[in-house]
Amino acid sequence: MFSNLHLIGFGDGGWGWALLQGAGVTISIALATLPFGLALGLAIALMARSRSAVARWFATVYTTVFRGIPELLTLYIIYFGVQILVQRGLEGVGIKGFSIHPFVAGMVALGIVLAAFSSEVWVGALNSIHKGQREAGAALGLSKAQIFRLVVFPQLMRVALPGLGNNWMVLLKETSLVSVITLQDIMFIAQRGSSNTKEPLLFFATAAMIYLAFSLVSWWFFERLERRSNRGHAAFGGQTR
């Protein structure tokens, strides 16, 4: 294994640049999914607390389904399912050759799953905000949207941060699944490299190290972010998580 380290280097016949590009794709899809998934999750959380029974029912079904089925299955359903449905629809009007880009399919699938998991975090955070905050906002004559944007949301982030940090860590690792729909992320490159060079141990160990580096950086970052957002808040019992 160690005699072949040049295979993951940047020189001639080395896969270094390819692996770096794969790492770039992994980070891009994770970062692209994050805002979409979190926003959808917040919408689902607001539905779960809404007065309308239909909205509450929808939120329950959504979270139950997408928390209960494997991410891989969601990915396949989105990638193949939507593709086939849209193709059938388009063939009806005479357009052929439609295909979803794997990046978009991966982003949508991971985003849908992230929304289901993050909505639980958002609900918990929303529940932690005292009713008096909204009432005070209303007493100041703020509209409902303004109350949410100016009063509730800033306080929400502090409480939601640890949970969302976990969601991010899970998302980062789940991105490895998009390699099965031919998106060229770290896992995809590592698979291709190992089948070309017959050195799977080297390539998958390298891939693991890259993921580990991402995870460690994320852990460090969220720890700092949490400490920063907790300024001025005494942590009861010294624990904030």
Partner 1 sequence: MRWCDHPGFWLGSEVLQNYGCRMAAGLGITLQLVVISVSLGCVAGLGLALVRLYGPRWAGVMVGSYTTFFRGTPLLCQLFLVYYGLGQLRPFWQDVGLWWFFREPFYCALFTFTINTAAYQAEVFRGAIQSIGRGQFEGALALGLHRWATLRHVILPQAMIVALRPLGNELIVMIKSSSVASLVTLFDLMGATRLAFSRSFDLSIYLYAAILYLVMVEIIRRLWDVMEKRLTRHVVVR
Binding residues (CB under 8 A) for partner 1: these are 64-65, 67-73, 76-77, 80-81, 84-85, 173-177, 179-180, 187, 190-191, 194, 198-201, 204-205, 207-208, 211-212, 215-216, 219
Q: Which two tokens stand for residue 145?
A: 């949207």
Q: How many CB atoms within 10 Å of residue 136?
A: 13
In the complex, least distance from residue 88 CB atom to partner 1, rounded to whole angstroms: 10
Nearest distance, CB of residue 180 and partner 1, angstroms: 6
The smaller minimum CB distance to partner 1, of residues 4 and 155, is found at 4
Half-sphere exposure of 237 (CA within 13 A, CB side): 3
122/203 with CB nearer partner 1:
203
Give how far Cα 98 sits from Cα of 31, 89, 102, 135, Å. Answer: 26, 10, 13, 51
CB closer to partner 1, 70 vs 154: 70
Supply the minimum distance, in Å, between the C-beta of residue 189 and partner 1: 12
Minimum CB distance to partner 1 smaller for 89 or for 154: 89
Question: What whole-number distance in Å separates Cα of residue 182 and Cα of residue 102?
Answer: 7
The DSSP-derived string for 60-106 is HHHHHHHHHS-HHHHHHIIIIIIHHHHHHHHHHTT-------HHHHH
Closer of 142 and 170 to partner 1 (Cβ)? 170
Least distance CB 200 / partner 1 (angstroms): 4
> CB of residue 210 vs partner 1: minimum separation in angstroms?
9
Taking a C-beta distance cutoff of 8 angstroms, is the pair 95, 121 a contact? no
